[in-house]
Structure 1
Amino acid sequence: MARTSQMVQLTDSFERKMDYLRISVTDRCNFRCQYCMPEDIKFENPELLLSLEEMLTFAEACLQLGVTKVRVTGGEPLVRKGVVGFIGQLKAMGFEDVTMTTNGFLLKENLEGLVDAGLDRVNISIDTLQPEKFQFITRRNHFQKVWDAIMAALETPLSPVKLNAVAMRGVNDDEIVDMARLTQEHALHVRFIELMPLNGDTDGVRFRKLFISGKEILDRARTELGDLKPVEKDDPAAPADEFKFDGAPGNFGVITPVSEPFCARCSRLRLTADGKIHPCLLTDLDVPVMDAIRSEEPITEIHKVLWETARVKPAAGLTLPEESRNRTMSQIGG
């Protein structure tokens, strides 16, 4: 499918350019990470979710309004049948950058297909290098399979590979140096993400106990491993602040939505599997778009919803928000 000629660039009320789309292809996941979802979570009826073809229609409408980058997420995207072909169709549409975030469990057996489909980059979520701790955090005993997938990905055109770890005091903060050292040994870009107050922490007590700031993470890495030099951003809107040790093949960085929010440069929209747009990850603001996608003139109707979404996108969404604490990352397409 050839790229449709661009109309006008989608921008919000604060003149932020909306050029990055995240598509949550499913709310389902084969892990149950403790900071993300409860063990007994109830997923949506699959019949109530958008089809992949409908998601492609939405993506085409976004492409026409200047969206150039798309990330496929979940839940865990690789549990959705047909997602490898879906990535190939996104690439064929003309998106400049097509990426995916995965927990890695199904990655190794899909690597060849993803590379052939044109996937540009992959982010793998892994919060620990210790198998026992991995089982505690994810409630699944799959560390070795994920690690093998990471090593296999480094042997493909997807290298360098990005690793995302959610930082939690008393859980995995003792591994900050070990994770940073990976960047000295492999072409891995390791980023620690500050814990956000989600998943039913209604009074914030557990959040405050576990929270560790990006600054502290960087300070610990510097103390043990030496100076970190800033890496210039390819994209000014990118949320990660990345650094490099002298001679290291990889980067080490932090994503700081709590201690140093980057709302002022946010360029993202999120489409959920059940047909809603989240203009801001950390509010309860949803803009329904399923009816527009299923209308007789879907592109025209989706454009209307996109402009409305851009209009209501807030200036900022995180000051330990009460409104976000009863949501899971799976529900908001994080």
Structure 2
Amino acid sequence: MVAVPLVLARRPVEVPEDAPAGTGPLVDTHGRVHRDLRVSLTDRCSLRCTYCMPEQGNEWLARTSILTLDEIERVARVAAAAGITTFRLTGGEPLLRADIVDVVRRLAAISGPDGPVELAMTTNGIRLAELLPALADAGLRRLNISIDTLRRDRFRELTRRDRLPDVLDGIAAAAASRLRPLKLNTVAMRGVNDDELVELVDFAVGHGAELRFIEQMPLDAGHTWSRDAMVTRAGILDALAARWRLVPLPGRGGAPAERFVLDGVVLPSGQPAAVGVIASVTAPFCGACDRLRLTADGQLRNCLFSTMEYDLLPALRQAQGPGQEGAVLDAEIERMLRACVRGKLPGHAIDDPSFLQPTRGMNAIGG
């Protein structure tokens, strides 16, 4: 498969040269303060999940358009100085990046006005058992691992790869590590894994982890998403309530997951066990969203479902030529960052008839 730039997958925003840079926290026009930057390291993945990407025929980002480690670090330092306190490394699959340990080490060393940033990662778990000691030593602090089924035949059918043993080894390594909190992510799908919801929670509890169920979203590269195939927040909670009494946890803030304590259940650490539900479709949390995204090819996005992007790549690549001062480049990155925040809409409007699914798939946006 030939890698080509996904030119048609973006609608770049033209930011006027005289747009004000601004100072202080990254606050949008709706009063939301942004503290979280999701950094996609690659659009490539070791799985081919049916709800994310086709098995064949994928048009990958050209390798020349992928941000280098120096470029990622530069954007991250500017973002931290502007008030970003958490970086989450995503993909595609971030562990496919050859320099992943160096990425973690250099981003974990960044500090902002409130002190050192917190570095997290979302991964499918493949290669995690091999890389986790080095990642933890480099400064990784939190992990989310995706697992949609515990059944090998079902995993193979869903992901089109027979890699469940590798994922389970990665989860076991994470459970034995010092990285906490540990979270397992499951996309709930009707007729696919909706009969495993309780089993998956039991599995997470046994590994000292919190299971987070995610409503299936319209982010597949093939644009085959159907509301009828979703397991909704209500359906998830009904299934869990048949086994446990769910006690809502207050203080959600800008977190994507609505969390519930499983009454009477404790983790191996002795802490109360909890479960989370991310209901982006039926119970969106846009009003408290504090997240921005940086794609692997240098596009800033202010919403997972946005059809508009702010292109940092030209400025970053011009910096390699003569006469581009570092302070000037940093100021340009901050100007684009603040323009992206100012352009954020009140919500994603999935339920609005005018909603348009992003042309990029989830693997090219970054989770």
TM tier, shorter chain? over 0.9
Whether contact under 8 Å (1:23, 1:72) holds in the other structure is: yes
CA displacement, residues 246-281 of structure 1 (integer Å, 9 cap, x when unaligned):
132132111010000011011111000111011111
Match among 54, 79, 89 for residue 71 of structure 2 = 54
Cα deviation for residue 81 of structure 1 reads 1.0
Aligned-partner residue type, residue 179 of structure 2: L
Of 158, 170, 180, 1:149 maps to: 170
Distance (Å, rounded) in 1 between the aligned partners of 2:222 and 2:130: 36
Paired residues of 2:307 and 2:359 also in contact (CA < 8 A)? no
The normalised TM-score by structure 2 is: 0.85
* Distance change in 2, residues 1:304/1:11 (3 Å): same
Question: 2: CA distance between counterparts of 1:180 and 1:112?
Answer: 26
Partner Cα separation in structure 1 for residue 43 and residue 205 of structure 2: 35
For residues 216 and 50 of structure 1, the distance between their equivalents in structure 2, rounded to whole angstroms, comes to: 40
Instruction: Determine the C-alpha separation between the residues in 2 that align with 1:213 and 1:172.
Output: 13
Note the C-alpha offset of 1:184: 4.0
Alpha-carbon distance between aligned partners in 2 of 1:113 and 1:200, rounded to the nearest angstrom = 33
What is the match of residue 39 of structure 2?
A: 23
- Residue by residue, what CA displacement relative to the aligned partner does 1:115-151 show, whole Å, maximum 9, x if unpaired? 1011110000111111111111111001011111101
After superposition, the Cα gap between the structure-2 partners of 1:29 and 1:200, relative to the gap in structure 1 and judged at 3 Å, is closer
Q: Secondary structure at the match of 1:100?
A: strand
**Shift in alpha-carbon separation, 1:317–1:91, aligned structure 2, 3 A:** same
Find the counterpart in structure 2 of residue 253 from structure 1: 276
**Segments of 4+ moved more than 4 angstroms:** none
Residues 25 and 52 of structure 1 are in contact (CA less than 8 Å); yes or no, is this contact kept in structure 2?
A: no
Specify the alignment match of 1:219 in structure 2. 238
Does residue 210 in structure 1 map to residue 210 in structure 2? no
Per-residue CA deviations over 1:139-196 (Å, capped at 9, x if unaligned) read 1001011111101111110144210011110001111111122244331110110001
Q: TM-score, normalised by structure 1?
A: 0.93
SS state of the match for residue 150, structure 1? helix
Instruction: State the one-letter code of the partner of 1:18.
Output: H
Match of 1:122 in 2: 143
Residue number in structure 1 paired with 2:292: 269
In structure 1, the residue matched to 2:339 is 308
Count residues with an aligned counterpart: 324
Quote how far apart the aligned CAs of 1:309 are. 0.5
Helix, strand or coil: the match of 1:209? helix
Aligned position for 2:312 = 289
Look up the match of 2:86: 69
Aligned to 2:168, the other structure's residue is in SS state helix
Q: Deviations over 1:261-318 (max 9, x none)?
A: 0110111110001110111111211111112333422211001101110111111113
| Residue 175 (str. 1) matches residue 175 (str. 2) | no
CA distance in 1, matches of 2:358, 2:94: 24
**Residues 143 and 183 in structure 2, CA contact (< 8 A), matched pair in contact too:** yes
Is 1:190 paired with 2:211? yes
Contact 1:185/1:248, CA 8 A, preserved across alignment? no
Contact 2:184 2:204 in 1 (8 A): no
Partner in structure 1 of residue 154 of structure 2? 133
Say whether residues 1:298 and 2:329 are aligned partners: yes
* Residues 1:332 and 2:365 are matched in the alignment: yes
What is the aligned-residue identity percentage? Answer: 40
Structure 1 unaligned regions, length at least 5: 1-6
Paired amino acid for 2:78 = A
SS in 2 for 1:251: strand
Aligned with 1:306: secondary structure?
helix
Secondary structure of 1:247 counterpart? strand
2:291 maps to a residue whose letter is R
**2:226 match: secondary structure:** helix
Paired residue for 1:3? none
